[in-house]
Structure 1
């Protein structure tokens, strides 16, 4: 059962690593599409850079998912080794991963409202004029169609893998 938990934790780690990989590969195209949409809206595209708004895998866009992947890999190694704290650490970190993924899914579902609020908080009048829904849609459409399926697969892997890992260590 510990091996099953470890395999699921490695699946979760891989799912989280996929986030910055996809953003690194397609972030520049998303940025270009978002800038084109800003031009269409008569907003200077430079407003993105002036306000540190990015579509690539820099900063926390890489650090957070890679940290999750490293932690899940470490807990998987403990499960494979049959180490004493593996069960407790699985309960802690698999539960945290589920909660984090709930926040990610919620954030994705409420992106338009969140970005509108963030743009207004920035205090930049030009940024506040951005029509956020078409702006985000343009950036999203710059990603290949398979990325949407990959996102659903990633969420399934994270939620399902974490649940299976929790059940497996409970039965071990």
Structure 2
């Protein structure tokens, strides 16, 4: 059962690493599309840089998923080694990953509202003029169509893999 937990944790790690890989490859196209949309709206594109808004895999967009992946790999290694620590690590980290992924999915589903609120909080009058829905749609459309499928697969792997890892160590 520890092997099953470890395999699931390695799949979850791979799913998290896929996030910055896709953003690294297609983030510049998403930014270009977002900039074009800002121009169509009559908003200075420089407002993105001035407010540190990114579409690539820089900063926390890479650090967070890579850190999650590293923790899952370490937990998988503990399970593969048969270490007693594997079970509590799985309970803690697989549970946290389930919760984090739920927050990620929620934030994706409410992106327009949350980005509008974030733009208002920034206090930049230029950002306040942005029509967020077409802005986000332009950026999203710059990613290949398969990325939407990859997102569903990634979420399925993260939710299912974490749940199976928890079940596996429960019955070990």
What is residue 101 of structure 1 aligned with on the other side?
101
Q: CA deviation at 1:111?
A: 0.4
- Tell me the TM-score normalized by structure 2: 0.99
Q: CA deviation at 1:146?
A: 0.2
Q: CA deviation at 1:85?
A: 0.8
| Unmatched tracts of structure 1, length 5 or more | none
What is residue 31 of structure 1 aligned with on the other side?
31
**Alpha-carbon distance in structure 2 between the residues aligned to 1:3 and 1:78:** 10
Q: What's the RMSD between the two structures over aligned residues?
A: 0.4
What is residue 59 of structure 1 aligned with on the other side?
59
Q: CA deviation at 1:38?
A: 0.3
Q: CA deviation at 1:118?
A: 0.5
Counterparts of residues 20-169 of structure 1 (less than 5 Å): 20-169=20-169
Q: CA deviation at 1:62?
A: 0.4
CA offsets 1:88-141 (integer angstroms, 9 cap, x no match): 110000000000000000000000000001101111101100000000000000
**Alpha-carbon distance in structure 2 between the residues aligned to 1:96 and 1:24:** 25
**Alpha-carbon distance in structure 1 between the residues aligned to 2:106 and 2:141:** 20
**Alpha-carbon distance in structure 2 between the residues aligned to 1:60 and 1:51:** 15
SS in 2 for 1:84: coil
How many aligned positions are there?
172
CA offsets 1:36-60 (integer angstroms, 9 cap, x no match): 0000000011110011000001110
Q: CA deviation at 1:73?
A: 0.1
**Alpha-carbon distance in structure 2 between the residues aligned to 1:118 and 1:75:** 35
Q: CA deviation at 1:166?
A: 0.5
Runs (4+) of structure 1 exceeding 6 A deviation are none
What is residue 14 of structure 1 aligned with on the other side?
14
**Alpha-carbon distance in structure 2 between the residues aligned to 1:167 and 1:47:** 47
